[in-house]
């Protein structure tokens, strides 16, 4: 399958998830707990509806890849890997907090650096972000880029259930940032970075899965941003059990502004 066909399949799957979940988000039906998924978190009906929608679209489109998802675990295929977070920000969706998305990526091998195609849809307003390696990042058909170097730093950060060690690392960073936001859906937050709406996105808890970040990883890089972990450019396998931390910035000068040595 050609690259443009793969991207088209990911984009269609995102659009179908938007269509099939918008009426059940925040409802008792959509919030019904359905056990635990392969990633260990509680699965809600909206998660399973979204995941089944993605799988059905990809198979109908002939994208016979191994699918890795937080609910389904690993579904074997023959060509490459689709990394799926069918609902990123499920808690937001369950409370009708308008910040959650569907995140899909295709990789030719079992690691982040070979993600070649990505699509993420804002499941509230329908904004569709996508990228193919070497071809730039887009939102609703328009090219997007990270914000140019400057001050007045706006930073997204997840501080849920942080321990004292992480809190001590983050305290001076938060003190330097001009504005700190907690969004609750990392893939969509990183799209905001790629679009130039925020300057940095940081999660040092060691809890992020590759499914959370795979699609946004490519969109940020194609938008001109940088993603680091443990002092070097972020790399990871795609295993559902893998956990990681990251620092994503629009420009390296943001790191210096925040007092972070990378």
pLDDT digits (tens, 9 = 90+) for 166-184: 999 899 999 999 999 999 9
Neighbours of 79 (CB within 10 A): 13
Alpha helices (H) along 22-163: 28-31, 45-60, 90-95
Looking at residue 72, its pLDDT comes to 85
What's the angle, vertex CA 65, arms to CA 107 and CA 58, rounded to 5? 105
Distance CA 117, CA 213 (A): 13
Distance CA 87, CA 103 (A): 7
Long-range pairs of 159-167 with CB within 8 A, sequence gap ≥ 24: 160/205, 161/205, 162/204, 162/205, 166/204, 166/205
Distance CA 253, CA 38 (A): 39
Distance CA 228, CA 211 (A): 17
Q: What is the pTM of this model?
A: 0.95
pLDDT digits (tens, 9 = 90+) for 7-64: 999 999 999 999 999 999 999 999 887 666 556 576 789 999 999 999 999 999 999 9
Distance CA 120, CA 139 (A): 9
């Amino acid at each position: 399958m050609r690259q443009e066909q793969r991207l088209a399949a990911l984009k269609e799957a995102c659009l179908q998830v938007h269509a099939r979940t918008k009426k059940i988000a925040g409802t008792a039906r959509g919030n019904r707990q359905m056990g635990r998924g392969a990633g260990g978190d509680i699965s809600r009906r909206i998660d399973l509806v979204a995941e089944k929608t993605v799988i059905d679209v990809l198979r109908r489109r002939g994208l016979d890849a191994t699918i890795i998802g937080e609910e389904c675990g690993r579904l074997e295929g023959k060509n490459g890997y689709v990394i799926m977070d069918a609902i990123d920000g499920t808690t937001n969706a369950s409370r009708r907090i308008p910040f959650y998305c569907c995140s899909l990526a295709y990789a030719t091998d079992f690691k982040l650096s070979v993600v070649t195609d990505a699509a993420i849809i804002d499941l509230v307003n329908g904004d569709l972000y996508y990228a193919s390696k070497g071809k730039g990042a887009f939102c609703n058909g328009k090219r997007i880029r990270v914000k140019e170097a400057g001050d007045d730093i706006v930073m997204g950060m997840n501080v849920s259930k942080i321990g004292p060690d992480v809190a001590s690392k983050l305290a001076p960073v938060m003190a330097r940032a001009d504005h700190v936001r907690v969004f609750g859906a990392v893939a969509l937050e990183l799209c905001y970075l790629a679009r130039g709406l925020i300057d940095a996105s940081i999660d040092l808890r060691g809890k992020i899965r590759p499914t959370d970040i795979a699609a946004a990883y490519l969109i940020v890089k194609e938008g001109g941003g940088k993603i680091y972990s443990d002092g070097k450019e972020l790399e990871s396998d795609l295993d559902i059990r893998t956990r990681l931390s990251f620092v994503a910035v629009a420009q390296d000068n943001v790191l210096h502004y925040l007092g972070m040595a990378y």
